[in-house]
Amino acid sequence: MRDDKGRTPLHCAALSSSSIPVVDFLLNEAGPSNSKGAAAAVRMVDHNGNLPLHCAAASSGVSAKDVMERLLSAPSSHSTMAATDMTNHDGSTPLHVACRGSGSDGFNVPVIRFLLKVNPSATAVQDREGYTPLHLVALRSRKPRAVNAIRSLTYNGRSDLCKLADRRKGNTPLHTALVSVSTQQQPQQQQNQDANQIAFAHVIRTLVQILPKTGSIRNAAGETPVHIACERLLSP
């Protein structure tokens, strides 16, 4: 049973971070007497190639991490690490999805930390745009808890992620954060502008603190982050 996006009830429950009993019920309904049904349920993809695990990673709900634990503990032909390496049609792993943030709610840091604990190597995976999870957080540097997400991704000796370049323009996460700045503020955004600027400044400072030499790295156009900062932040 699927909706018009190819999602099963388990996809929808994972996306909404439904209560654990709902997820357990769906897994049990899929395979109450043997493991094959439950294994098939957690492996099903929607029209965009998303597993239920991707959907849980996109959720801002407080139960999202627990839902992911249930999905990963269900019988499956995939190992836990292999499941978190699975990509959708955009080339995104569940960690990529989590690092896009959840609308105005920002980043679900417990989900990001859980995925990192399960599969630390996922931090270096690039999607079809050539972005690592850290690039995706940098793109959304004004979202709540962006700094927490960055520190989680680069914790425990992973500072070199700050110098990884995307495949299209050769931008590091610091380049990416600066490029994401809009020099044109709409009137209705004015009241939130100060908070956004503070959040953005914290992200830039954090990226530089983690790996200072990233400030001198050039992208494919020969630009350092300083070039981009002067162009974007000092333009009238």
Rounded to whole angstroms, the Cα distance separating 110 from 104 reads: 17
Q: How far apart are CA 21 and CA 25, in angstroms?
A: 6
Q: How far apart are CA 139 and CA 130, in angstroms?
A: 13
Q: Which residues of 26-50 are buried (b: 16+ CB within 10 A; e: fewer)?
A: bbeebbeeeeeebbebbbbbbeeeb
Predicted confidence pLDDT, tens digits, the chain (236 residues) = 899 899 999 999 999 876 788 898 898 876 554 556 777 889 999 999 999 999 999 998 889 999 999 999 887 656 778 889 999 999 999 999 999 987 777 899 999 999 999 999 999 999 999 999 999 999 998 888 999 999 999 998 899 999 999 999 999 999 999 998 754 455 545 556 666 778 889 999 999 999 999 999 999 999 999 999 988 776 55
pLDDT at 184: 40
The span from the CA of 147 to the CA of 141, in Å, is 8
Q: Which is nearest to 13 in space by CA: 75, 66, 83?
A: 66
**pLDDT value at residue 165:** 96
**Span between the terminal Cα atoms of the chain, in Å:** 54
In order of their start, the domains of the chain are 1-125 (1.25.40.20), 134-236 (1.25.40)
Amino acid at position 78, single letter? H
Structure tokens at 18: 């439904």
CA–CA dist 11, 64 (Å, integer): 12
Neighbouring residues of 235: CB distance < 8 A, sequence distance ≥ 6: 183
